Amino acid sequence: MADNLKITKTISLEEEFGIKNAKVHYQLSPEKLHEATLEKKQGVEADSGALAINTGEFTGRAPKDRFLVMDEVTKEDVWWGDINQSFDAEKFDLLYNKVIDYLSGKELYARDGYVCADENYRLNIRVVNEYPWSNLFCFNMFLRPEESELENFSPDWKIVNAPGFHANPETDGTRSHNFAILNFKRKIALIGGTGYTGEMKKGIFSALNFILPTQKNTLPMHCSANVGEDGDTAIFFGLSGTGKTTLSADPNRKLIGDDEHGWTNENTIFNFEGGCYAKVIDLTEEKEPDIFRAIKPGAILENVVLGKNGKVDFKDDSITQNTRVSYPIYHIDNIQASSVGENPKNIFFLTADAFGVLPPISKLTPGQAAYHFISGYTAKVAGTEAGIDEPVPSFSACFGAPFMPLHPTRYAEMLSKKMKDAGVNVWLINTGWTGGPYGTGSRMKLKYTRAMITEALDGNLENVEFENHEIFGLAVPQSCENVPDEVLNPKDTWSDKEAYDKKARHLAKSFQDNFKQFEDYANTEIMKGAPKA
C-alpha cells in the first residue's frame, strides 16, 4: 500500500485519542516504515532485505505488568488473580491522559487493521505507535483492510503504544515503569515503557479471549491450524518450544494460521491474525524452510545478532533466547487464502516432556482432553531460565494462561462440547524426550513425530491396536507406519524400568498438584481424565 498516494482519508488523533499537535503518518506502506526506521537509526537491514530491530530493555512479554481494568464489564466474568491482575478505572484514565500528553507534539504512526478472518466476527483495530517499526509489526500481524474499506473504517478497539513513556508506580498504579493494560469499557489497549511488539499482539488476543466466549459463544484458541486436500482442518495447541509452528507447516496441507484462532458454532476455524510471529533461535532452512524463506523485505527480525554483511547468526542468543521474526502470512507459499477452515477432524496437544515418560502419541477421551487442555503441560529444561539445572514441569492453562481472562474451565467445557458435536479426535503428542529424561535420553526425532501426525490425519490409526498407559490412562497405539514399535511405548525405551515408573508417578503427581486449583470448577468427566500417581 503506497504512502498516502491513493489514501485520501485522514484521521484526527486529537478528536479520537486526545493527542494534540502530532505529525501523523497514516497507513504507511511497509517500504516507507522500513525506510523511516533506517533513517531514525532504530534498525538495520539484514542481508535478506528484512528489517532487524532491537526491542530494548524488554525482549519478551512482562506478565507481571499486565492488567485488566476492573469495572462493570469485567468484574463478574474475569478470573481475577496473579494472571489477571485488576487495575483501577480512575487510575487508568489518569495514566491514559499522561501517555496522551507524552505523545502530543511527536511524530507518530497510525494504522487501521482488523482481527478475525471470518467476517461475522471481525473486530476493527486502530493503532497509534511511537515508532515506525512498531507500526510495521501491526501491518504484518493484523489483517489488512482493502483501500476501499478505509474511507468508512470505524475502530472497535484502539491500541496506544508508547515504548518511550515510563510510568511512575507510586502515582500511576503500575508495578514498574512498563505496563500493558486492557480497558474493556473504553475498548483500549494501553502499552507503555516496553518496545516488545508482542505486547500489542497478545493484548488484542486477550481481548478476543474475553469477547468471543461471552458475547459470541465462540471458542478462542492459542493454536495453529491447517487444512488438508479433502477440506479437513487440524488444530495444534502447544506452548513455546513444543513445535506448534513447525508441525503445522506441512507441505501437504495449507496453513490457516500459526498462533491464534476461533472455533465457531458453524464449525469453522478462523485465523485471528494476518501474519506470523515465529521464534528464530537456531533457525535453519533445512529444519524450518517456510519460516527461513519468509525472512525477506517486509519481515522484521527482533533481537537477533548480525555479523558481517548483515548476515544473521541465528544461533547467537546473547541478546535473548526469544529471538523472533514477524511477517505477513502471504510470505508463506502454502496458505489457505481465506484464513478460514471447515470440518475440524483432529486436535493435537503438543508437549515437550523433558521427563521422557509421556508416549510420543496417544489418543484422549473427551474427559482426558479437557483435563490436559486445562493443564497445558510442557517442561522447562536446563538453561532456559536462570536457576534451572534439571527438568521442571510447566503448566499454562488452555495452553495460553497469560492471555485467558475467563476461568480455564469455561474454555475447556466449550472445547469438550465442540469436540463431541464435531466428532473430533484429540491426540497428545510428546515432542520431548525418550529413553530417559533430559540429559540422559534423546529428543524425539522430528521425522517420527511428523509420521505419527500424518498417520493420525490420514485416519490410519483408527484400526490399530491401542493399550492404555498404566499411570496416565492414555490410549497408546501399538503400531504406526514409519515409526519403530519400541518408540511408541516410552517405558520400552528406558533401560531402567523402575526408574521410568518412579519418574512417571512423579510427573503424574505434578499434574494432580497443579489441578487442585481447578477442582472446584471441574465437572466429573474432566476429573476422570486425571492420571493416577
Residue 240 reports pLDDT greater than 60? yes
Residue 385 reports pLDDT greater than 70? no
Rounded to two decimals, the pTM is 0.93
Residue 450 annotated among the catalytic residues of the structure: no
Residue 193 reports pLDDT greater than 50? yes
Which listed residue (29, 104, 176, 240) is catalytic? 240
Residue 12 has a pLDDT of: 86
The confidence band for 370, taking pLDDT boundaries of 50, 70 and 90, is very high
Residue 389 has a pLDDT of: 56
% the chain with pLDDT above 90: 88
Residue 126 annotated among the catalytic residues of the structure: no
Which listed residue (25, 32, 34, 61) is catalytic? 61
Mean of pLDDT values over 246-275: 94
56 backbone φψ class: left, alpha, beta (φ>0; ψ -120 to 50): left
pLDDT tens per residue, range 443-483: 999 999 999 999 999 999 999 999 999 999 999 999 999 99
183 CB burial (10 A radius; 0-12, 13-18, 19+): buried
Residue 7 has a pLDDT of: 62
Residue 507 reports pLDDT greater than 90? yes
Question: Three-state SS across 122-181?
Answer: CEEEEEEECCHHHHHHHHHHCECCCHHHHCCCCCCEEEEEECCCCCCHHHHCCCCCCEEE
The confidence band for 167, taking pLDDT boundaries of 50, 70 and 90, is very high
Nearest to 365 by CA among 485, 234, 530: 530
Residue 8 has a pLDDT of: 61
The confidence band for 268, taking pLDDT boundaries of 50, 70 and 90, is very high
Residue 11 has a pLDDT of: 85
Residue at grid coordinates 487440524? 234
Q: Average pLDDT of the chain?
A: 94
The confidence band for 245, taking pLDDT boundaries of 50, 70 and 90, is confident
pLDDT tens per residue, range 310-344: 999 999 999 999 999 999 999 999 999 999 999 89
- Cβ atoms 115, 148 nearer than 8 A: no
End-to-end CA, the chain:
58
Residue 53 has a pLDDT of: 98
Residue 144 annotated among the catalytic residues of the structure: no
pLDDT tens per residue, range 67-88: 999 999 999 999 999 999 999 9
Residue 442 annotated among the catalytic residues of the structure: no
Residue 421 annotated among the catalytic residues of the structure: no
Mean of pLDDT values over 363-368: 93
CA atoms of 68 and 233, how far apart (whole Å): 33
Residue 244 annotated among the catalytic residues of the structure: yes
Neighbouring C-alpha atoms within 13 Å toward the C-beta of 363: 20
Residue 522 has a pLDDT of: 86
DSSP state letter for 22:
-
% the chain with pLDDT above 70: 97
Residue 288 has a pLDDT of: 87
Which listed residue (134, 174, 224, 245) is catalytic? 245
Residue 383 reports pLDDT greater than 50? no
Residue 469 annotated among the catalytic residues of the structure: no
Residue 222 annotated among the catalytic residues of the structure: yes
Which listed residue (32, 34, 158, 324) is catalytic? 324
Quote the cell numbers at residue 166. Answer: 515510563
Residue 88 has a pLDDT of: 98
CB contact burial 186-208 (16+ within 10 A = b; e otherwise): bbbbbbbbbbbbbbbbbbbbbbb
Which listed residue (222, 254, 331, 345) is catalytic? 222
Name, in order, each residue with C-beta under 8 angstroms of 344's C-beta and a sequence gap of 6 or more: 232, 233, 234, 235, 263, 267, 269, 418, 422, 424
Mean of pLDDT values over 295-312: 97
Which listed residue (111, 202, 331, 372) is catalytic? 202
Q: Measure Cα distances from 123 to 40, 113, 208, 255 in Å.
A: 32, 9, 9, 22
Between 282 and 386, residue with greater pLDDT: 282
- Cβ atoms 368, 347 nearer than 8 A: no
Among 50-64, 155-169, 389-403, the range scoring the smallest mean pLDDT is 389-403
Residue 139 has a pLDDT of: 98
Residue 5 has a pLDDT of: 43
Mean of pLDDT values over 249-278: 95
Which listed residue (32, 34, 158, 244) is catalytic? 244
